[in-house]
Structure 1
Amino acid sequence: MRPALHAEWTKLRTVPSPHWLLLGMIAATVTLSAAAISVLTCTPAGCGGDLPKLSLMGVELGQAVVVVLAVIVVSGEYSSGMIRTTLTAVPRRTTAFAAKAITVSGVVAIAGTIAVLGSLVAGRFILPVHGDAALSDGATLRAAVGSILYLVLIALLSFGIAAVVRDAAASIGTVLALLYLVPILSQVIGDPQWQRLLQQVGPMSAGLTIQATTDLGDLPLSPWAGLGITAAWATAALAAGCLALGKRDA
């Protein structure tokens, strides 16, 4: 496994596009988070709303860049034919697949940590002093750690789907539709029970409940249960991707 990990890390760090995508993810996350928190109207009594969640709103945009990064790690090798070289060097396909997944999740975890911390720091600078307490308690720590884990899970979900679909455009479109269309459908459908069901099963709507720090009783799922739904989606995608890599020709 160690040589496979080293090979995947070497490939990832020697190609310029992942670097720019990671920087873009950080910039997009922090920028949108800062914009969301800057429009709040604060009074001496407080700013109102779920401040940590608003400070982390940029994750909803940053995840799209994570999707692109995770997909091109797989689809790029198929389009260039590099996958044959990879599997020649690492004949055990499960080992090659695991090495890729670990490398992708590792770099996303590092970039996600920078993006999440940057968003919270931006919130501290933008908000008045009385908003600081709301951005430094235990619930905020859970929201921050959960947001990082969420980004990693989205990367793994995208990675698994890309291994099945192989085509970059189709893979990115599939994942983005899964992430963003389900919440839209839940708002369009008039039946409250169906709305709640879609919010419970959608990988984004369920997973981002981890960011909530207030009114937890009104959520369709508890924060960690919601992240568990996203983890289930990622696990299923990885299992399908690993099976596809093992059964089909390179």
Structure 2
Amino acid sequence: MKRAVHAEWTKLRTEGGTGRLMLGVIATTAAVSAGVASTSRCPALDCGGDATRLSLTGIMVGQVVVAIVAVLVIGNEYNTGMIRTTLTAMPRRITVLAAKATVLTGVMLVAGTISVLASLLSGRILLPDNGFNTEHGYAALSLTDGPTLRAALGSVLYLALIALLSLGAATAVRNSATAIGIVLALLFVFPILTRVVTNEDWQRHLEQIAPMPAGLAVQSTVGLSALPIGPWQGLGVLALWAAVALVSGGLLFRSRDA
């Protein structure tokens, strides 16, 4: 396993576009978060806004780049035929997939941490001037605050789980474009359905099982009782989606020809 992890890290590190895409995750997430923080307003006391969640809005956009990076981890090898060389050097396919997942998770945890810290910093700087201040009942964003820390840690884990979900999908379908389409559909079609469906119970159920709405519940720091699903339970739903994708991809990877 150690040799497989080292090989996958070498491939990821030396791949030309990977570094740029990882910077894209950080830049996109931080830029969108800063943009939302600079335009959000709290004109009165207890205006109802969630300052922490507003500061982390960029995660919704950054996850798209995360999905692309994760899909390309194995998709590029199928596109170029390098997967045959990989499996010749390391015939144990589950070990190969586990190594890819390990390296991908480590890289995404680092990129996610930087993205989240940059997003919260922009919120801490920009939001007070827009009314999210002590006069309106908001303390400055700080990781010493339990709910904010939970939202920050959860957002980092969210990005890592999106990466694993995407890796599993790409392993299953063996085509980068198809895999990206599947992942984006899973992430964004459910929120659209919740707006199309008029029954409130069905809306709530869809939000409870959907990977993005459920997973991003971990960012909420106010009005938790009104959420369709609890913060950590929602992240658990996303973890289940990622596990199913990886297990399905792994079974197909092991049972068919490269």
The interval holding the TM-score normalised by the smaller chain is over 0.9
Q: Please, which of 172, 178, 188 is the counterpart of residue 180 of structure 2?
A: 172
**Larger deviation: 16-25 or 109-118?**
16-25
Per-residue CA distance 1:146-203 (angstroms, 9 max, x = gap): 0000000000000001000111111000000000110111111111111111101100
State the shift of 1:47 in Å. 6.4
**Larger deviation: 20-29 or 39-48?**
39-48
Matches within 5 A, 1:32-51: 32-43=32-43, 45=45, 48-51=48-51
Matched with 1:193 is: 201
Distance (Å, rounded) in 1 between the aligned partners of 2:152 and 2:170: 27
Q: Please, which of 237, 246, 251 is the counterpart of residue 238 of structure 1?
A: 246
Q: Please, which of 181, 195, 203 is the counterpart of residue 189 of structure 2?
A: 181
Distance (Å, rounded) in 2 between the aligned partners of 1:58 and 1:6: 32
Instruction: Tell me, yes or no, if the aligned pair for 1:52 and 1:135 is still in contact at 8 Å.
Output: no
Matched with 1:102 is: 102
Matched with 1:60 is: 60
Matched with 1:133 is: 140
What runs of 5+ residues in structure 1 fail to find an aligned partner? Answer: none
Over the residues paired in the alignment, what is the CA RMSD in angstroms?
Answer: 1.3
Distance (Å, rounded) in 2 between the aligned partners of 1:212 and 1:117: 16
State the shift of 1:23 in Å. 0.6
Matched with 1:154 is: 162
Count residues with an aligned counterpart. 250
Matches within 5 A, 1:16-95: 16-43=16-43, 45=45, 48-95=48-95
Q: Please, which of 142, 145, 150 is the counterpart of residue 142 of structure 1?
A: 150
**Larger deviation: 9-18 or 33-42?**
33-42
Q: TM-score, normalised by structure 2?
A: 0.94
Distance (Å, rounded) in 2 between the aligned partners of 1:48 and 1:29: 24
**Larger deviation: 122-131 or 143-152?**
122-131
What runs of 5+ residues in structure 2 fail to find an aligned partner? Answer: none
- Give the share of equivalent positions with the same residue, in percent: 54
> Which secondary structure state, in structure 2, belongs to the residue aligned with residue 91 of structure 1?
coil
Distance (Å, rounded) in 2 between the aligned partners of 1:235 and 1:15: 26
State the shift of 1:100 in Å. 0.5
- Structure 1 consecutive aligned stretches of length 4 or more whose deviation exceeds 6 Å: none
State the shift of 1:41 in Å. 2.3
Say yes or no: does 1:13 pair with 2:20.
no
Distance (Å, rounded) in 2 between the aligned partners of 1:189 and 1:177: 17
Q: TM-score, normalised by structure 1?
A: 0.97
Distance (Å, rounded) in 2 between the aligned partners of 1:44 and 1:211: 23
